[in-house]
Structure 1
Amino acid sequence: MIYTVFALRKRATHTIPSKDLRFYICSLSSKSIVYKGLLTPLQLWEYFADFVDPDYETHFAVVHSRFSTNTFPSWERAHPHRYLAHNGEINTIRGNENQMRAREGVMSSSKYGDELKLLYPVVEEGLPDSGRVDNVLEFLIMAGGRSLPEAVMTMVPEAWHKDTMMSEEKRNFYRWASFAMEAWDGPALFTFADGRYVGAILDRNGLRPSRYYITKSGFMVMASEVGVCNLAPEDTQSKSRLKPGRMLLVDTELGEVINDADIKHHIATLRPVKQWMDEQSVTLDDFYKAHMETRGEEPEIGPLVPVQSDHRLAMFGYSVEHINLLLVPMVKNKKEPLGSMGNDAPLACLSQRNPLVFEYFKQLFAQVTNPPIDPIRESIVMSLACPIGPEDNILEPSEKQCNRLFLDAPILTLHDLEIIKDTSLRTWKTKTIDTTFPVEAGFAGLVPAIDRICAECSEAAEQGYTLLVLSDRAAGPERVPVSSLLALGATHHHLIKTRQRLHVGLIVETGEAREMHHLCLLLGYGADAICPYLLYECLISLHEQSLLGVDFGIKEIQKRVIAATEKGISKVMAKMGISLLQSYKGAQIFEAVGLSQEVIDKCFVGTASRLGGATFEILAEEVRQHIKTVL
């Protein structure tokens, strides 16, 4: 019955609301009742007669009271939601929501069958971040067959990547869960209940307060601070605080508090996840081994053009300052070079120097109660490792979810990319999509080129390709490069719209990207991996001419660049309080300054651009000015 009621409520939520009609159902559950409103705590007792009825009893209660800060107050946005109440922010919410929409293209359910599509979209419109988390949590329980504690563990994992003290079983579970879903990341304390379980979990950084008491008389009280309830000291059995990533759980059927280690061990050993991962998941090492077995040798890097005569550098907007002040120090010091505070360069929309599309964007950063992370001292909670490639059905756990490529970092070397392009390992196959268009097409060629790229990617997904490489290597005197950011953003959102995004992984092979800001923008708008080939080739050319100032081999140069980019990407993520690259990807933690709405709607859906400005025609003209350098 409970599943029928859930389906009824989802269908009603999707079909009844209209432009002039607000409609929201609090719970519609046989196990719990949600009372909410724009009320003070004392007004609850006067407004809801149940609370003063002596015959009305409950075995648990989740109470949430606060002023609305980040959203305009409304009845449906008030806490608690159907399963949880929440104190904090989900910084990756836009990416999480996009990913959930993309999963609708690969999900299936033996429980709901063809009616599963009637439950879409999973994430309902007009809700705050906590409401959207609640939508997905409920969906994993009702359609995914998970218990409430397991669904919470999947969405809010501990910092498992670098925790050497974690048990192997729990580490394997979190790794397997990451193949199916990215973490919903941000400083947050979640309290949750479904009628049987009631509990709480704290984010991996522990950036929200939580204290709890267990009494001898059989009660457990948890609150964001001490003193919310008057408890007799002599009745206190134990008291403590909730620690980062830990879960506090009461099973009301058993009538006991379940230890964090016990519940997580139980959930982690429900399925043979280690066996699944060993049999199905692949790494770059596996790609290299398969390549060596078939080809017998590693791919070679083609002949390089000397820096002094490489017209591609000017075409992609490089300058002498870029090379000397940004690129060379990355090799020498294995970190992003430091500069003075502030940036006095004109806004891209006002510049006369034909800026790259990247320069129209500004990074968002954590503010007020949403603290940043220290990427050095708190590096244990951060990770750039993530799986890429096709995702399988999240609703029915199986070994198929592990058939993904697990990367330790998102930046690929020249050799890595050639190995990926040439792979024939198991079901993996790669297609390269050209992101350039003929010079003679002029201004009018840009939008049709973007449409062609999207169509080719969609067709490749239908043909069963697992990895798509968006490449501008063909750029030159006769071919104009589409900005890698425009091509990627349009393709990413097009595939989400057609529900094909999770059928493929998107890799960007670009000559444009060389700054941390460029790399983070590509990741933030959906890139699974990036190969900045011109950056590498420029440095290798300098090395071959003994102009680099240090004596490193070709592979060592690339490794040092990757080490520098890892630190730089981590620093940018940390500004926004995000710990995991897997959650940062596609989260669009940027705002545009001076881009027109037509560009936003086609390539950067959901990004704020308050000023308007550059159209596709203006962007095409800026690219054309760079092309003049090679004509």
Structure 2
Amino acid sequence: GLRPARYIVTDDDRVIMASEAGVLPVPEERIVKKWRLQPGRMLLIDLEKGRIVSDEEIKSEIATRHPYKNWLANTQLILEDLKPVEPRALRRDVSLLDRQQAFGYTQEDTKLLMSPMATTGQEAVGSMGTDTPISAMSDRSKLLYTYFKQNFAQVTNPPIDPIREELVMSLVSFIGPRPNIFDLVGNSRRKRLEVRQPILTNGDLEKIRSIGHTEDRFDTKTIDITYASNEGAAGMQGAIDRLCERAEAAVAGGYNIIILSDRQLGPDRIAIPALLATAAVHHHLIRKGLRTSVGLVVESGEPREVHHFCCLAGYGAEAINPYLAFDTLLD
């Protein structure tokens, strides 16, 4: 219904549909009905029964085919409805400044990007160009996110109205195992955790971490994505391999939500870049045929820009807790 579509029905049971009326020459006296396909409506021609099925009848038949309302009541778990849990404390031997330096925070990040975003709720927009080299050719340390760029700006055609078509603009995310969409009856017994948006507060994350105490169909495993600093850069590959093995073992052990956390970062612990850790676990579980059995949540001090969150979501994260960004804004 998003493109012009008009149709006529003739007295000899022909249906002619085109972008405009009058595409084919049909005498007016032979037309028994003429109308248009309205936005959001359906037109079904049942050739077996020889009739046109109305939009209301189509949707009513599908909507009453199964007890969807009861299924939702049994399977829908909303994060906001869970009891609040006290957030975990950070390591006391690592200051806020130490963490910011470890994750590459700059004054530009805090003043020009994060503060305006926290104030307005929108991504900061600038008009100046940049003459800095791309990350792959720079002699400075850059975050892994900066190596990824959009190929083009995606637009919708026709434009989407975020008010009247709120459904397709929704930020609601689901965490947990992904059920077989063809097993309707089986899905009526599988719960998924619904979050209002994919960015989690510290309190939200603690609800997820302790969800197994109140919901018997969920069990959360927190996996540390830091490794010993004395291993240096050479120890990164081994740390990633061990991380993937722990994630696989967690799924095999019955855990259905994994939290990848770098909160243990300190003088003796180096954090694997959150994007690298997320992507490694995501693709490892895909190769093992286990990815749809578990939800991935990232607890990291590294992400603080919209682009960072988009990259993490693109590589498998279902929700992200940028705890250091919150602490920085509160400081």
Q: CA 1:316 to 1:501, structure 2 compared with 1: closer, same or farther past 3 Å?
A: same
Q: What letter is aligned with 2:169?
A: M
Q: What are the within-5 Å matches in structure 2 for residues 146-225 of structure 1?
A: 206=2, 208-224=3-19
In the other structure, the counterpart of 2:293 is 503
Question: CA 1:230–1:418 in structure 2 vs 1: closer, same or farther (change >3 Å)?
Answer: same
Distance in 1 separating the partners of 2:220 and 2:263: 16
Q: CA deviation at 1:256?
A: 1.0
Cα drift, residue 322 of structure 1: 0.7
Tell me whether 1:539 sits opposite 2:324 in the alignment: no
CA separation of 1:250 and 1:431: change in aligned 2, threshold 3 A: same
The aligned residue for residue 528 of structure 1 is 318
CA contact (8 A) 1:215 1:236 kept: yes
Alignment of 1:430-469 (within 5 A): 430-469=220-259
d(CA) in 1 for partners of 2:325, 2:210: 22
| Aligned position for 1:31 | none
Aligned residue for 1:321? 108
Give the superposition deviation at 1:390: 1.0
- Mapping of residues 229-628 of structure 1, within 5 Å: 229-288=24-83, 298-300=85-87, 302=89, 310-340=97-127, 342-365=129-152, 371=157, 373=159, 380=166, 381-398=168-185, 400-401=187-188, 402-424=190-212, 425-540=215-330, 542=331
2: CA distance, partners of 1:501 / 1:311: 35
8 Å contact from structure 1 (residues 385, 410) kept in 2: yes
Q: Would you say the 8 A contact 1:273–1:399 is kept in 2? A: no
Identify the residue that residue 12 of structure 1 maps to in structure 2: none
d(CA) in 1 for partners of 2:291, 2:26: 53
Larger fraction in strand: 2
SS across alignment from 1:459: helix
CA contact (8 A) 1:511 1:532 kept: yes
C-alpha contact 2:8 2:35 (8 A) present in aligned 1: yes
2-structure distance, mates of 1:318, 1:421: 27
How far residue 225 of structure 1 moved from its aligned partner, in angstroms, is 5.5
Contact residue 162 and residue 169 of structure 2 kept, 8 A: no
SS of the counterpart of 1:363?
coil
* Aligned partner letter, 2:79: L
- d(CA) in 1 for partners of 2:256 and 2:175? 10
CA contact (8 A) 2:199 2:320 kept: yes
Give, as a single letter, the amino acid of the residue that structure 1 aligns with 2:116.
Answer: P
- With structure 2 as the length reference, what TM-score do the two structures score? 0.88
- Tell me the distance in 1 between the aligned counterparts of 2:132 and 2:23: 52
CA distance in 2, matches of 1:451, 1:346: 32
Contact 2:191/2:217 (CA < 8 Å) preserved in 1?
no
Distance change in 2, residues 1:384/1:462 (3 Å): same
Q: Please report how far the alpha carbon of residue 359 of structure 1 lies from its aligned counterpart in structure 2 after TM superposition.
A: 0.5
* 1:366 and 1:372 in contact (8 A); partners too: no
Alignment length (residue pairs): 327
Using the alignment, how far apart are the partners of 1:506 and 1:367 within structure 2?
26
Unaligned runs of 5+ in 1: 1-201, 293-297, 543-631
* TM-superposed deviation, 1:467: 0.6
Percent of residue pairs bearing the same amino acid type? 43
Question: 1:497: Cα distance to partner?
Answer: 1.9
What is the distance in 2 between the residues matched to 1:343 and 1:215?
A: 64
Deviates more, 1:371-380 or 1:448-457: 371-380
Q: Distance in 1 between matches of 2:153 and 2:26?
A: 37
Q: Cα distance 1:309–1:397, how it changes in 2: closer, same or farther (>3 A)?
A: closer
Shift of 1:342: 4.6
Contact 2:7 2:17 (C-alpha < 8 Å) held by counterparts: yes
Query: Per-residue deviation at 1:227?
Result: 5.8
The answer to whether the 8 A contact 2:91-2:264 is kept is: no
1:54-73 aligned within 5 A: none
Structure 1 distance, partners of 2:162, 2:12, is 45
2:29 is paired with a residue of what secondary structure?
A: helix
Residue type of the alignment partner of 1:501: R
Q: Aligned equivalents of 1:340 and 1:372: distance in 2? A: 28
Query: Equivalents in 2 of 1:481, 1:524: separation in Å?
Result: 20
8 Å contact kept, 2:209–2:220:
yes
Deviations 1:452-492 (Å, cap 9, x if unpaired)? 22221111111111110011112222222111111111211
Paired with 2:191 and 2:45, the residues of 1 have a C-alpha distance of: 35
Question: Within 2, Cα distance between the matches of 1:523 and 1:242?
Answer: 37
**C-alpha spacing 1:438/1:304, structure 2 compared with 1 (3 Å):** closer
Q: C-alpha distance in 2, partners of 1:372/1:507?
A: 34
Over aligned residue pairs, what C-alpha RMSD do you find? Answer: 2.7
- Cα displacement (A) at 1:309: 5.4
The 1-side partners of 2:125 and 2:316 are apart by 27
Q: Are the structure 2 counterparts of residues 243 and 362 from structure 1 closer, same or farther at C-alpha, using a change threshold of 3 Å?
A: farther
Q: Which amino acid aligns with 2:244?
A: C
TM-score (norm. length: structure 1) = 0.48
Question: How far apart, in 1, do the equivalents of 2:23 and 2:114 lie?
Answer: 55
* TM-superposition CA deviations, 1:70-113 (whole Å, max 9, x none): xxxxxxxxxxxxxxxxxxxxxxxxxxxxxxxxxxxxxxxxxxxx
How far apart in 2 are the matches of 1:394 and 1:410? Answer: 22
Give the aligned residue type for 1:486. Answer: L
Give the 3 Å change call, closer, same or farther, for CA 237–385 of structure 1 in structure 2: farther
